Amino acid sequence: MMKHLKIKKLDENAVVPTRATPGSAGLDLCACTRTPIVIPAGGRAMVPTGLAIAIGDMGAVGLIFGRSGLGSKFGVAPSNCVGVIDSDYRGEIIIPLANHGEADFTVRHGERVAQLLIVPIFTPEPLLCDEIDKTARGTGGFGSSG
């Protein structure tokens, strides 16, 4: 298990991620911008954080999730739903935000725009098969379980 997440400030004004409460799963990521970024209603914008991280552990991935307050109050959420930071990526963390709301939304420096979770992953090698094992559910898809 990782004890520390190495974080590098790429901009001296970048905000180091923190957890809002001791029980928070994610680290809050903040915008690092010299001027406000306006995301028009129905539009998208790339929001820099001024940070790079080193996950290092090849059995882990960084996942970028939206903040529930931004989504529920303003309709602003990551445009790719969940961002993936591979363990070997060392570039700046940039948050692509989409504004699904009816009004323009302004992102200011230091504003919490997303949250980062470091999660263990499995990376099995794909194996092409003629058959796969059967289950009680079988091929039942959308809505088939009730």
Mapping DSSP onto H, E and C, the string for 29-59 reads EECCCCCCEEECCCCEEEEECCEEEECCCCC
Residue type, 90: R
**What percentage of the chain reaches a pLDDT higher than 70?**
99
Q: What is the pLDDT of residues 82-102, one digit of tens each?
A: 999 999 999 999 999 999 999
Three-state SS across 102-130? CCCEEECCCCEEEEEEEEECCCCCCCCCC
Query: What does residue 94 show for φ and ψ, rounded to 5 degrees?
Result: -120, 130
Q: What is the pLDDT of residue 139?
A: 85
Rounded Cα gap, residues 35 and 50, in angstroms: 14
**What percentage of the chain reaches a pLDDT higher than 90?**
85
Paired with 107 in beta bridges are: 37
Average pLDDT for the chain? 94
How would residue 105 be classed by pLDDT, with cut points 50, 70 and 90?
very high
The answer to whether 50 and 14 have CB atoms below 8 angstroms apart is: yes
> Is pLDDT at 116 greater than 80 in this prediction?
yes
Q: What is the pLDDT of residues 48-72, one digit of tens each?
A: 999 999 998 778 999 999 999 999 9
How would residue 133 be classed by pLDDT, with cut points 50, 70 and 90?
very high
